[in-house]
């Protein structure tokens, strides 16, 4: 692309960014409608596209009093959707089914988790069926076992599929449609083969595009023009220690906007730094935010 073409593209992108950001600002609620709570950041896998080796923060499980504090603030704020997962494997948290039940009984309309499926069996599976979970997403990449095992090191394709298949059977035998079982696929060499492999195993497949974890894995494509990231207007991410991270890709907590132990979530959501970040996105100045400067998410 010529310099003139790039300049024109940038100008158009900037104008559209203003329009998008101003629209999201008008629609932004005093409290986010979607919140992610990281109840554990431990994981037993070593997937090739995950930067866990550079997470750079202590591993642990969220304390129950902190968890309840976050959930109660979510209820008061009118949260519609809670994701009980972060940068670990949620099923490692032995309290997870009870925590899901706590959320549902507190009045959260929808609760979902995102798992690698390795531990989805036995008592854990049965408890998940009985706790009120609305949706479970399982990461299943590749078009066959060989490809899966190369991508998701430490996991076993046959075991994961057996776990999911048995979980669906248990759900169907119980005469319920929940939790909805979704396969999340970000890498596969043959989409049709993946669909065939998962036919009858899950309720649906979400084919997604892999990202670079805020620049941790590769560079953003320079020829594209960024748009404002709606995560800053729509969602909040609570890390295992109560830190509020910039977004769900901030796996290391590089941009901490506050801590639930120190400030109410509603105050953090509306604080000066959050609004400054929104302004930088509105003005196409993501390069001034270390986490966003080389992120592959949110392009025109």
Express each pLDDT in 69-101 by its tens digit. Answer: 999 999 999 999 999 999 999 999 999 999 999
Of 157, 155, 148, give the one whose Cα is nearest residue 188.
148
User: Average model confidence (pLDDT) for the chain?
Assistant: 91
Of 190, 186, 104, 109, give the one whose Cα is nearest residue 140.
186
Tens digit of each residue's pLDDT (9 = 90 or more) over 50-61: 887 788 899 999
C-beta atoms surrounding 174 within 10 Å: 12
pLDDT of 43 > 50? The answer is: yes
pLDDT of 9 > 50? The answer is: no
Q: Which residues contact 11 (CB under 8 A, 6 or more apart)?
A: none
Is this model's pTM higher than 0.85 or not? yes
Model pLDDT, residue 4: 43
Tens digit of each residue's pLDDT (9 = 90 or more) over 147-178: 999 999 999 999 999 999 999 999 999 999 99
């Amino acid at each position: 692309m010529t310099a003139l073409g790039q300049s024109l593209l940038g100008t158009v992108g900037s104008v559209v960014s203003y329009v998008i950001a101003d629209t999201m600002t008008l629609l932004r609620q005093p409290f986010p409608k979607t919140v992610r709570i990281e109840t554990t950041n431990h994981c037993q896998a070593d997937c090739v596209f995950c930067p866990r080796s550079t997470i750079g923060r202590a591993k642990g499980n969220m304390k129950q009093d902190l968890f309840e504090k976050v959930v109660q603030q979510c209820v008061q704020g009118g949260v519609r959707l809670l994701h009980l997962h972060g940068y670990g494997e949620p099923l490692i948290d032995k309290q997870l089914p009870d925590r899901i039940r706590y959320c549902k009984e507190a009045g959260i309309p929808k609760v979902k988790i995102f798992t690698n499926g390795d531990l989805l069996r036995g008592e854990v599976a049965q408890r998940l069926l009985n706790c009120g979970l609305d949706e479970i997403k399982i990461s299943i990449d590749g078009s066959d076992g060989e490809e899966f095992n190369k991508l998701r090191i430490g996991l076993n394709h046959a075991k994961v599929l057996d776990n999911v298949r048995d979980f669906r059977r248990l759900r169907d035998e119980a005469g319920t449609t929940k939790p909805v079982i979704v396969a999340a696929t970000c890498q596969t060499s043959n989409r049709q083969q993946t669909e065939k492999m998962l036919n009858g195993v899950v309720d649906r497949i979400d084919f997604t595009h892999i990202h670079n974890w805020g620049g941790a894995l590769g560079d953003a494509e320079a020829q594209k023009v960024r748009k404002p990231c709606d995560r800053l207007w729509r969602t909040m991410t609570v890390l295992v220690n109560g830190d509020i991270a910039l977004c769900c890709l901030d796996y290391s907590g590089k941009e901490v906007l506050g801590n639930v132990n120190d400030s109410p979530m509603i105050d953090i959501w509306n604080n000066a730094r959050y609004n400054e970040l929104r302004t930088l996105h509105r003005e196409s100045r993501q390069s001034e935010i270390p986490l966003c400067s080389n992120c592959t998410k949110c392009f025109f």
